[in-house]
């Protein structure tokens, strides 16, 4: 499949590397232009592009940049792209980390619905609920022991199926999480978020949870202070997963 990935940070870079390794034709772009992404592209066997080139002639586009940076895209970036092209939103709302407060989301708007509104195209939500370390290192062959689960949400069943296939290619078990409006349940600090659960474990945690869209957002707002206290200075991957499992229920 021909895939364009916008953003080559920890998450976008891991997605690009995994998909290129799985045999897909991958283009990559970041905010530094072709020269700024050339070395990374060469390393993973991808094609370096600028922001317009990365969306041209592809079947899937993955957005993996700081959440609010979407508003900086050229207004016509997707205007000439076929309606059949799948656009994947892998971003998460973390105000104060790399962008400011977005009032619509503070008022309850689902993150990916906001993203879709900004770009004027529907999106599929995926690749957002595993840590970068897990994305890069925890993929396993189908049927492998403790293969991790990953939620995928979206309104178009055909497009969602394509993304679920890519999740499988990366070494994870895709779980259909319903419509895009339901993707609040895979937003930051939702049950199972960044907890390295298998699909069976993730489904079990979610089936027992009483979380609501409102409670997930409130959990997100107080998470940082609680996380620091529980981590007790140990920010190893294993301890981060332990703390996440304690908080994201």
Q: What is the mean pLDDT of residues 194-213?
A: 97
Confidence of residue 29 (pLDDT cuts 50, 70, 90): very high
Residue 66 contacts by C-beta under 8 Å, 6 or more apart in sequence? 91, 98, 99
Q: How many C-beta atoms surround the C-beta of residue 40 within 10 A? A: 17
Supply 246's token pair: 């304690």
Show me where the domains of the chain are located: 66-179
CA atoms of 21 and 66, how far apart (whole Å): 25
CATH homologous superfamily of 66-179 equals: NAD(P)-binding Rossmann-like Domain (3.40.50.720)
> In this structure, are residues 46 and 52 in contact, taking their beta carbons and an 8 Å threshold?
no
> pLDDT tens across 136-190, in order?
999 999 999 999 999 999 999 999 999 999 999 999 999 999 999 999 999 999 9
Q: Where are the beta strands (DSSP E) in 30-154?
A: 47-48, 60-63, 86-89, 124-125, 149-152
> pLDDT tens across 91-132, in order?
999 998 878 999 999 999 999 999 999 999 999 999 999 999
First-residue to last-residue Cα distance in the chain: 36
Considering only 4-18, 99-113, 212-226, which range has the smallest mean pLDDT? 212-226
Note the pLDDT of residue 98: 77
Note the pLDDT of residue 63: 98
Of the chain, the percentage scoring pLDDT greater than 90 comes to 94
Considering only 67-71, 87-91, 150-154, which range has the smallest mean pLDDT? 67-71
Inform me whether the pLDDT recorded for 221 exceeds 90.
Answer: no
Note the pLDDT of residue 222: 87
């Amino acid at each position: 499949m021909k895939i364009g990935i916008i953003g080559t940070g920890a998450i976008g870079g891991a997605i690009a590397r995994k998909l290129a390794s799985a045999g897909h034709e991958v283009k990559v772009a970041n905010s530094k232009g072709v020269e700024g992404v050339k070395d990374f592209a060469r390393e993973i066997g991808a094609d370096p592009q600028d922001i317009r080139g990365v969306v041209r002639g592809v079947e899937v586009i993955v957005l993996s940049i700081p959440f609010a940076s979407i508003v900086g895209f050229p207004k016509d970036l997707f205007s000439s792209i076929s309606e059949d092209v799948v656009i994947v939103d892998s971003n998460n709302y973390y105000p104060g980390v790399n962008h400011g407060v977005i009032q619509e989301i503070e008022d309850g708007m689902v993150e990916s619905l906001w993203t879709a509104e900004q770009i004027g195209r529907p999106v599929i939500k995926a690749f957002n609920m595993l840590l970068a370390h897990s994305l890069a290192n925890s993929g396993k062959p189908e049927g492998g022991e403790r293969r991790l689960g990953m939620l995928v949400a979206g309104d178009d069943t055909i497009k969602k199926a394509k993304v679920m296939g890519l999740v499988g290619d990366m070494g994870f078990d895709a779980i259909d999480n319903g419509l895009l409006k339901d993707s609040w349940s895979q937003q930051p600090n939702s049950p199972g978020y960044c907890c390295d659960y298998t699909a069976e474990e993730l489904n079990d945690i979610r089936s027992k949870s009483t979380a609501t869209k409102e409670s997930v957002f409130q959990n997100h707002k107080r998470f940082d202070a609680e996380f620091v206290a529980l981590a007790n200075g140990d920010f190893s991957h294993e301890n981060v997963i332990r703390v996440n499992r304690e908080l994201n229920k």
